[in-house]
Chain A
Amino acid sequence: MNLGLSEEQEMLKTSARDFLQKEFPKKLVRQLDESETGYSPELWRKMAELGWMGLVFPEKYGGSGGSFLDLIVLLEEMGYNILPGPFFSTVVLGGLTILSAGNEEQRNEFLPRIASGDRILTLALTEPSARYDAAAINTRATTSNGNYVINGTKLFVPDANVADYILCVTRTKEEQNPEDGITVFLVDAKSPGIECTLLKTLARDKQCEIVFDNVGVPQNNILGKPDQGWTIIKDTLQKATVAKCAEMVGSAQAALEMAVQYAKERVQFNRPIGSFQAIQHYCANMVTDVDGARFITYKAAWKVSEGLPAALDVAIAKAWTGEACSRVTLLAHQIFGAIGFTMDHDLHLYYRRAKAGEIMFGDSDTQRAIVARELGL
């Protein structure tokens, strides 16, 4: 058993923390949160130059051949600095999916461009039903002269407003089993018939509504096999779920540190409030939640990274991490008192993100249903 990060991972962690703290001060984070695009092209390029976008791609696709676990280390740091932008959508939802399901031509077309920072991607999966199961896929793709035409509405699609390509999950056949008859397309975001509307959300994450109105897609843009796309999506969802946990662990860690620091400094009744047992116990509960979430997330991520069956571990990680990180940011607010309730203070940025993360890719009730199923209950 070895529960530590490798030397390279420690270095990645440190350099990521330094870079993000220097380049993304909270003032900029707020500006990006409030902006239409949610990212800075200049800093996006710098991140690409650091090799972050291509971290997990093999070298022949312009990457550095890192593992999924390396990416988790990086995502935890991005969460720690609450980095806005389409990194998650591009690399986790888009890049990893193409890497595992794309043909050689598609990999050559997309992965080097993602790695160089020249292409932004996202995954259009959920629809107005807001569910992550196969039965929820109602967006249709029908054949027309050997090519396909997509019609339907996708909702809660992250970063579609800035994406160059959209991985669109469609129903191509009606089968008894809803997991059959699903096809994933690589859709040029500028295709005629696509209408993308930015949604205003709690965490200012750039979620969108996309309406596909007779959008034509060439047959060559099918990712994987026609009608068998759900296995691709299941795999991507598993990776995305644990990747989201890593981000959440990072932000919860930051919120914990802020609250502990404040508890040491803030004086009431002539003593630091951190000397009061009530506050100390809040802090103890917070670190218990954060550390537990980190350990369980890394266990799930390690399984995914090793290619081991991970459905149970990922559901356990998300069920726990989602609720734990929301609890942590809420307790942090309790410690900060009124100042934390002001827009000027940074804490609400973490509180918003924690809830958004808890809901994303299935909330804790949804995950517990998976856990129960996996345990044969």
Chain B
Amino acid sequence: MDFRFNEQELAFQREVEDFIKRELPADWTERSIYWPGGYGTLAELEEVDPIIEQFTRKLAEKGWLTISWPKEYGGAGRSHIEQAIFHERMSYYRVRGGEVATLIGGPTILHFGSDEMKKEWLPKIARGEVRFWLAYSEPNAGSDLASIQTRAVEDGDDLIINGQKIWSTAAHAAHYAWMIVRTDPDAPPHKGITLLIVDNKSLGVTIRPLTNICGFHSFNEVFFDNVRVPKKNIVGEKNKGWYYVMVALDFERLVIPMGGFKRTFEEIAQYAREAKLNGRPLSQEPLLRNKLAQIAIEIEVAYMFFWQTAWMLDRGLVPNIEASVLKLVTTELSQKLANLGMQVLGHYGPLERNSKWAPLGGRVCTGYLDCISALVGAGTSEIQRNIIAMRGLGLPRS
């Protein structure tokens, strides 16, 4: 065992850190209000930030937008531990290291796409020129995702799509839907699903904004009314979409903002050291001190699942339990951290981010709202526990 990074990993960590410090404005971490584990307050959702656009281009130049991809497809060919290091550092500085096209779409095309599809899509994804949104959930298919009803019917060289998607994060800020549709209504639910790419500009696509409780336009509902999509946009084989979606879960396992948890905790702890209660630092109040320590402990435990997952993936092992636990414990930590922040900040906690009185840039106030999203999105906590129990521990379905 060796819990240290090796020379190469250390050098890479330094390179990432130097890059972030060089390429982002010094006050970025203060301006970015992203809450670790939350899905509703990504800076780029509110406005297409020219700083992020420029930063993304620079990431692309280094191959870091697609850090896990082989070099021949414009990636950096890095190990899973190195990917983990990258996401850890990026999130520490409250900046995102990828989106649906680079983290889910691209890797899936790499595994299952035709050569033609790889040539068409991978280079422009790696260059950061196209962004995808995840068109999975529907009004009646949330946790029970395999029950989607959006239909696609063949018509010559095309498919014609009718139906509705919802909770479509960043659909309005992306260019293409990474979408699952029902192509065989007579097959068992998970055997009649096809994965495909749909251009947002297609005739019949209507994107309507939904405002989340943080006040952000983060997600949308998207309607498909006789939308024509060329068959060449089908990923892999028809009716095998469910399988691809399940495999793709592996690709995003390390996209956990571990560094963001650490950073936010450090800020809350520093506030507690500086704030005074009865003339003493607030951090010396025994009950609060105990809570601060507990969150620090839980962050360390979460880090262990993070590195363990990366380490297992590098060895070709399947971290069924570890990856779901990682999602589960970090998102639940997101809520605990928000509660801790509120407690430490007291009356100042609920001040919104534009108030001159709001400490920590008002992030705790937004975070207290955004932390709700984490336990719901990307597989609820209940679904994660189901996966751990059934896939991990082999408990029976019925």
Residues of A within 8 A of B (CB): 1-6, 69, 260, 263-264, 271-272, 274-275, 277, 279-281, 283-285, 287-288, 291-292, 295-296, 298-299, 302-303, 313, 316, 319-320, 365, 368-369, 371-372, 375-377
B5-A1 in contact (CB<8A): yes
Q: Flag B235-279 by CB within 8 Å of A: 1 or 0 each.
A: 000000000000000000000000000000000010011000000
A281-B392 in contact (CB<8A): no
DSSP majority for the A interface? helix
Q: Flag B387-398 by CB within 8 Å of A: 1 or 0 each.
A: 011101111111
A281-B382 in contact (CB<8A): yes
10 A-B residue pairs with CB within 8 Å: A1-B2, A2-B311, A260-B395, A264-B395, A283-B389, A287-B388, A288-B328, A292-B304, A316-B297, A369-B289
A295-B304 in contact (CB<8A): yes
Q: How far is the CB of B381 from chain A (nearest CB, A)?
A: 9
Asked if B183 lies at the interface with its beta carbon under 8 angstroms from chain A, I say no
Asked if B99 lies at the interface with its beta carbon under 8 angstroms from chain A, I say no
A-B contact count (CB 8 A): 143
Interface centre among A1, A2, A376 (most CB of B within 10 A): A1
B384-A284 in contact (CB<8A): yes
Asked if B140 lies at the interface with its beta carbon under 8 angstroms from chain A, I say no
With A292-B304, A295-B308 already in contact, the answer to whether A376 and B3 are too (CB < 8 A) is no
Q: How far is the CB of B83 from chain A (nearest CB, A)?
A: 13
CB < 8 Å: which of B300, B307, B388 contacts A316? Answer: B300
Q: Which residues of B contact A3 (CB under 8 A)?
A: 1, 3, 307-308, 311
Kindly report which residue of chain B lies nearest to residue A370, judged by CB atoms. B293
State which size class the interface on B falls in. Answer: 35 or more
Interface set, chain B 299-314, CB cutoff 8 A to A:
300-301, 304-305, 307-308, 311
B289-A291 in contact (CB<8A): no
Q: How far is the CB of A310 from chain B (nearest CB, A)?
A: 11
A69 to B398, CA, bound (A): 42
Q: Flag B313-355 by CB within 8 Å of A: 1 or 0 each.
A: 0010000011011001100000000000000000000000000
CB < 8 Å: which of A280, A296, A365 contacts B304? Answer: A296
A211 to B253, CA, bound (A): 57
A283-B395 in contact (CB<8A): yes
Q: Which residues of B contact A302 (CB under 8 A)?
A: 1-3
Interface set, chain B 365-398, CB cutoff 8 A to A:
382, 384-386, 388-390, 392-398
A372-B289 in contact (CB<8A): yes
A117 to B323, CA, bound (A): 44
A369-B290 in contact (CB<8A): yes
A291-B395 in contact (CB<8A): no
